[in-house]
Amino acid sequence: MSTTDSSLVIETLNGDREAFGRLVEKYERRIFNLAFRICGDYEDAMDVTQTVFVKVFDRLETFDQSRKFFSWLYRMGINESLNQVKRQSRIVHGECDPPSHAPGPDQRIIREESDGLVQAALKRLGEDQRVVIILRHFVDLSYIQIGDVLGIPDKTVKSRLYSARQRMKEILTGAG
């Protein structure tokens, strides 16, 4: 059974539903967390994740297979999340909405104060800085991978990340 993204993409294009299911399983959690950290809202993160995978499926034939699949996917996740933030301006100006689902253990944890402070600080960053912090610290991408997703040199990734961390530090220490 093949496991690489390239193989799964090809099998999905050939009509294999199981292959598409495996792509969803592999990336659903990461796209959901990326969306949650950008949007700051559980329901919006669900909508964004769903929309991203529908678009992936619809546009898979146009995907350049010389590129990394995850870069294409994350790029789509970022764009869709930022669009959702623009659509839901209440999220930009308001507080994080708590999940409306019955809280499970993980959902209870996200209400903890430290997490709330980090999320609030993230929302005060500009888009570019917020995205680079999320890709580095919440999606665990390397500098090169972030550069690949955003289409910028890794040198720019570093300078953007370091500025973002400095801004986060100022906000979290009350200096910003």
Partner 1 sequence: MSIDEFYIRLMNEQIDGIISDGAAKKLAAHLMSDPEAERYYEELKDTVRAIDSAVEIEPPPELKTRIFDSVYGRPREEPAAQAAGGRTFWRSFAPVFAAGVAAGFILFAAIRPLTDRTPEDNGYGATIGATGSEKASAKAFDTFGVRGTVLPVFENGSLTVTIELASDVEASVFIEFEGGASFESIRSNEGAAYQMEVDEKSLLLVHHGEADYAIRFRSVETAAVVLRIFTDGKTVAAMRFTAGG
Q: Which residues bind partner 1 (CB under 8 A)?
A: 2-7, 14-15, 17, 20-21, 24-25, 28-29, 32-33, 36, 42, 45-46, 49-50, 53-54, 57-59, 61, 64, 66-68, 101, 104, 106-107, 109-110, 114-115, 117-119, 133, 137-138, 142, 144-145, 154, 158, 161-162, 165-166, 168-169, 172-173
d(C-alpha 46, C-alpha 36), whole Å: 8
d(C-alpha 73, C-alpha 168), whole Å: 26
Q: Look at residue 39 and give its three-state secondary structure.
A: helix
Cβ atoms of residues 164 and 124 within 8 Å: no
Q: In this complex, which beta carbon is closest to partner 1, that of residue 42 or of residue 74?
A: 42
Q: How far is the CB of 133 from partner 1 (least distance, A)?
A: 7
Q: How far is the CB of 110 from partner 1 (least distance, A)?
A: 6
d(C-alpha 22, C-alpha 33), whole Å: 18
CA angle 134, 143, 52 (to 5 degrees): 45
Q: How far is the CB of 104 from partner 1 (least distance, A)?
A: 7
Q: How far is the CB of 4 from partner 1 (least distance, A)?
A: 4
Q: How far is the CB of 93 from partner 1 (least distance, A)?
A: 22
Q: In this complex, which beta carbon is closest to partner 1, that of residue 75 or of residue 165?
A: 165
d(C-alpha 74, C-alpha 27), whole Å: 9
Neighbours of 164 (CB within 10 A): 22
Q: In this complex, which beta carbon is closest to partner 1, that of residue 2 or of residue 83?
A: 2
